Amino acid sequence: MKDDRIRGILARMTWAEKLAQLQIVWIPDTVAQHDRVRRGIGAMFWPPSAEATNELQRIAVEETRLGIPLLIGLDVVHGQFTIFPTPLAQASSFDPAVAALDGRTSATEARSNGVNWTFSPMVDISVDPRWGRVVEGFGESPFLASAFAAAKVAAYQGSSLAATDSIAACLKHFIAYGAAEAGRDYNSTDVSNRRLRDVYLPPFAAGVRAGAASVMASFNSLNGVPMHANSWMLSEVLKDELGFAGVVVGDAEGASQLTVHGVAETEAEALALSITAGVDIVMGGPPMGDAVDDSSLHDPSALDVARVDDAVLRILAVKESLGLFDDPYVDASKAVSAPTEQSRADARASAERSVILLKNGGSADAGELLPLDPESTKRILLTGPYARSTDHLGAWVQRFGVGSRSLEETLRERFGQATWTVEDGAGFLASEPGQLSAAVDAARESDLVILAVGEPSHLSGEASSRSEISLPGEQDALIEAIVDTGVPVVVVLLAGRPLVVERWIDRVDSVLFAFHLGTEGPDALARVLAGDVSPAGRVPMTFPRSVGQIPIYSEHERTGRPASTSGSLSATKHDVGLEGPNNLDDSFTSKYLDLPLGPRFPFGHGLGYTTFDGPGLQATRTSISLAELAAGGSLELSAQTRNAGPRSADNVLMLFLSDPVASVAQPVRRLCGFARLHVSTGDTASITFRIGADEIGFWDDQRRRREPGLLRFTLTDGIDESDVSVHVTAS
């Protein structure tokens, strides 16, 4: 019946009315907004209020010939009013329930105000932290990102899109946007079909399986073809192969910018090229339902009628699923305009689960400084630009997102018995004269220094690529000067990306890290510092030692000459007679002469306040056939972890797969399972991982392959490891 309704509407539409549905625009002027709706546009950005949205919907329904309601879009990325941790911080939790909590809260707040479509989640894989938009995604692992993508889509959309607390999700940016050359936003990408399908496509496929209502085309070109004109990816792969039945929306002016890419001569040609390729809704650009200077689009022969009709039906189907034809309005008296006690509690719990303890002791006589002991620590200096700052929301927050308190406020509240001194020490970008020396003087009179440093929110996100990703301004110098005083130091480090911390990381005692945590971030940090919460976050994206190492990531492929020792600038290939270790046996291997091997903090790294016995891993069987896997069978691996320490806490178990011999060189290991388990002191927690055909398969450049052979599985909690091997037989 509902399908009949939208097909009936399509049959009555004029060509201009169809084209008008294929566009979303942002118009700040109210009069111009209303005029555009009267002319039949299909989607608008949020006005922003429930009353203003209802008025737009009223005009669309009552003052247009066909009465088609509007899609109302907004980037609700990690919160509408209650701001949750940034997506990369959420990935640090290794708990998709954190993303789900954000999605449910965001959907409730947004839909109550008339927003029915969000441009989130971003599921781009990136291994280059110079790219500012890494903060919007779920890290470098396709498996981890896929799990979070599915959870976020399901949470936004709920059990029914028509519900008053559900909004349509949008997977972005399709595809390989995170592979931008040099980590520079909007830049070109060149990716093999094999890597495209094994690395960049899986999170989108997971989101499509979860029922995502829309997908956004990315700004980049892929192998020379701009994505807004890439019919192979948008139509053949996304719609036909993956079975995506929703709406493909362009990114801001992305269709019009095909002229700048150099694949279209005029804007009208660019729009036609984009729609033909598979974009269903153009974002921005000239009015598509009105006469324009180049009116070629207004001749049905300029576009394939069936393609336009398909796009319109997809749009109408999403509106039907949202229940807009039956009731396009919201009850403005029930519109949410501020966080509730519950949403704050949920945001705080999510932030607590997203904090990573990078380091705790080992660089000085102070030993493990965290959690803080209020009895032995009487005089505390809090310094650094994040001491007093309330910049905790992170990138991609609308102006109406509710801010946070400062670390000074939350720490004074939690450690009221201590004597506090607060000095700025340095600014985020520039420092005032005397700031550093005042902090150093205060440090000498303190028992402990908490150095709150980091990268402010505006330095990450869209159009925020950085060529150097160390701490900005004079913060490195502040850390070194404080360390030189000899006072024990805890660094609280906040950022929107993994940072290069080599200048000081070996000199400080303890480091607590988080990607920006949102409205309740400082409260969560205070609770973790106090030991009310034991940190269990894990690094979702590798921390390089140097920008020169980028890209560096956990699932890199094997090389024929792997290095086993670090390089040396002093030894040469011909110094055979040198005494002592000179790396000659390992000279011609894959490494840098001027850096130790490996990253500073690898994917999955993270410490806590208790001790877990090494995780145990067992396979229920030693072999399984490809035929059984193809028929839906799975290999079961049981895992255990025991809390042998003094505190109840969470532990994160990560299961990696290695394929030592295959027809295509494989990653050294790749994530194929993970779980976050709460374990009381002295108790053991268990979980079973099921490995199916999808987990063992991989692509060559033509097809997906599953091959017999030996597979090695490694279970780790970031500290200890356990291995088992399983034979995969042909039959």
Phi, psi of 3, deg, nearest 5: -60, -40
If you ran DSSP here, which 8-state letter would residue 74 be given? Answer: E
Residue type, 379: R
Give the whole-angstrom CA distance, residue 622 versus residue 424.
59
- Give me the count of residues in the chain: 731
From the CB of residue 284, how many other CB atoms can be counted at a distance below 10 Å? 16
Count of Cβ atoms closer than 10 Å to residue 581 Cβ: 11
Q: Which residues pair with 380 in a beta bridge?
A: 420, 448
Characterise 529 by phi-psi region: left (phi > 0), alpha (psi -120 to 50), beta (else): alpha
Q: Are 262 and 249 in contact (CB under 8 A)?
A: no
- Please say whether the beta carbons of 158 and 215 come within 8 A: no
Q: Which of 532, 569, 705, 716 is nearest to 630 (CA)?
A: 705
The β-bridge relationship of strands 43-45 and 356-360 is unpaired
What is the C-alpha separation between 323 and 391, in angstroms, rounded? 38
- Does the active-site annotation cover 484? no
Decide: 682 and 695 in contact? Cβ < 8 Å.
Answer: no
Calculate the alpha carbon distances from 289 to 38, 40, 259, 297, 665 in Å: 11, 7, 20, 9, 51
Residue 195 neighbours by CB under 8 Å, 6+ apart: none
> Rounded to 10 degrees, what is the CA torsion of 253, 258, 264, 270?
-40
- Choosing from 198, 251, 280, 659, the catalytic residue is 251
- Residue 665, both tokens: 């060189």
In whole angstroms, what is the distance from residue 307 CA to residue 92 CA? 41
Q: Which of 75, 162, 55 is nearest to 117 (CA)?
A: 75
Q: Known catalytic residues?
A: 251
